[in-house]
Structure 1
Amino acid sequence: MLILGLTGSIGMGKSTTAKLFAEAGVPVYDADATVHKIYQGEAAAAIEAAFPGTTVGGKVDRNKLSARVVRDPVAMKQLEQIVHPMLRAHHQEFLDDAERSDAPVAVVDVPLLFETGGEKRVDAVVVVTTSPAVQRERILARHNMTGEKLDAILARQLPDAEKRERADFVVDTSHGLDPVRAQIRDILREVAKMPRRRP
């Protein structure tokens, strides 16, 4: 089984692209959804112990937690030390299930793939992109998003140009869904001929 790493900066259309991979029959691991899931349960007690007042009713309040860690690299590191081992376990479980189902390709959707060295654990990287204007418009339309919050998020992400340069495949979401579906079909055709790269 080949593993495709799917990544892209905020607002590029990565979640939509992940859904279209799933629509094409490819198992998809969603790191953000997994974070959401563990915040609802298994990570909550450890996060509350490290950052008192960031949970409500045994679940992490993402806004409170974000306000606490977003501009504090030490707190961010501490949060990652709690969350990453849990994420790795869920990730491995997903890959084992995909392998057992005889899927030829699996996609792991990881926003900070390059930033965390995740490209070494996949066979090829797909970067999702769009124009800076479309990106900003999409993000600022989101609930609770401000220009300041956006700048803090972008500061943690590699620039889009660098991601595209390091990608094996680039998907441009600027022109609607059908061109993205066509790009995914092409990628899956190419990937079928590729050798496994990860160790």
Structure 2
Amino acid sequence: MNIPRRIGLTGSIGAGKSTVAALLRARGLTVLDADEQARLVTQDPEVLGLLAARFPGVVVDGTLDRAALAGRVFGDPAALADLNGVTHPRVRARMAALEARAAARGEQAVVQDVPLLFEGGLDAQMDAVIVVDAPLSLRVQRVMARSGLTEAEVLARDARQMPADQKRARATVVIDNDRDLPHLEMQVDRALRQLGLGG
């Protein structure tokens, strides 16, 4: 049976990982988005029941209040571990099923877009890892513009992730997203060539 190469895609908050994921899709690669699968998992009535029991008040009229849940787990390692214990195995199962479908289609590579790839130890399961990076000041500006968070809030979230320089050191390929879109596209194509995936 065909087993596609597994390419991890990650980057610090505001680096532009989602933009790179879209560019990879545009080049014909299957990109599996862990965040998207997590959203789907948290629409499952069984999961909602588990979350409502552990975090009273975060499920309202059968819908997860993501902001309320984030507020409950941010800065609370035990609460975050409980949340991850409910969601992570289900997200991994969904990602594995999607990967199996890609394998059945005969695809040579599958990209797994995982924000906390290194933090979760998932890099060990990848054949290669692409890290998207940009200077901290630029990343902070981007997140503030899109989310309404304050600079302090963005910096606090960034501080909870592995430092960008450590991610760069562990990457197979680094894409610097510090200029315009044409420059980013050139870097994506170069990364694909480096990984033997055309481009």
The reply to whether TM is greater than 0.5 is: yes
Corresponding residue to 1:13 among 13, 16, 20: 16
Corresponding residue to 2:60 among 56, 60, 72: 56
Tell me if 1:30 matches 2:26: no
The one-letter amino acid of 1:6's match is L
Q: CA deviation at 1:174?
A: 1.2
RMSD of aligned Cα (Å): 1.4
Label 1:35 to 1:144 Cα distance change in 2 as closer, same or farther (>3 A).
farther
Inter-partner Cα distance in structure 2 for 1:40 and 1:9: 26
**Deviation string, structure 1 residues 40-72 (Cα, Å, up to 9, x no partner):** 235211111110100122121111101111021
Q: CA deviation at 1:144?
A: 4.0
Tell me if 1:96 matches 2:74: no
Q: CA deviation at 1:190?
A: 2.6
Corresponding residue to 2:169 among 165, 183, 189: 165
The one-letter amino acid of 1:129's match is D
1:40-79 alignment runs, 5 A limit: 40-42=43-45, 43-79=47-83
Q: Percent identity?
A: 37
Determine if contact 1:6/1:109 at 8 Å carries over to the other structure: yes
Q: CA deviation at 1:184?
A: 2.0
Q: For 1:84, what is the secondary structure of its paired residue?
A: helix
1:95-174 alignment runs, 5 A limit: 95-174=99-178
Q: CA deviation at 1:146?
A: 2.5
Q: For 2:116, what is the secondary structure of its paired residue?
A: coil
**Deviation string, structure 1 residues 59-105 (Cα, Å, up to 9, x no partner):** 21111101111021110111010111111111101110111111111
Inter-partner Cα distance in structure 2 for 1:99 and 1:181: 27
Q: For 1:64, what is the secondary structure of its paired residue?
A: helix
Determine if contact 2:175/2:191 at 8 Å carries over to the other structure: no
Inter-partner Cα distance in structure 1 for 2:147 and 2:191: 33
Unaligned runs of 5+ in 1: 194-199
Q: CA deviation at 1:32?
A: 1.0
**Deviation string, structure 1 residues 93-149 (Cα, Å, up to 9, x no partner):** 111011111111110000000001111111001000111121110011123413343
Inter-partner Cα distance in structure 2 for 1:191 and 1:178: 20
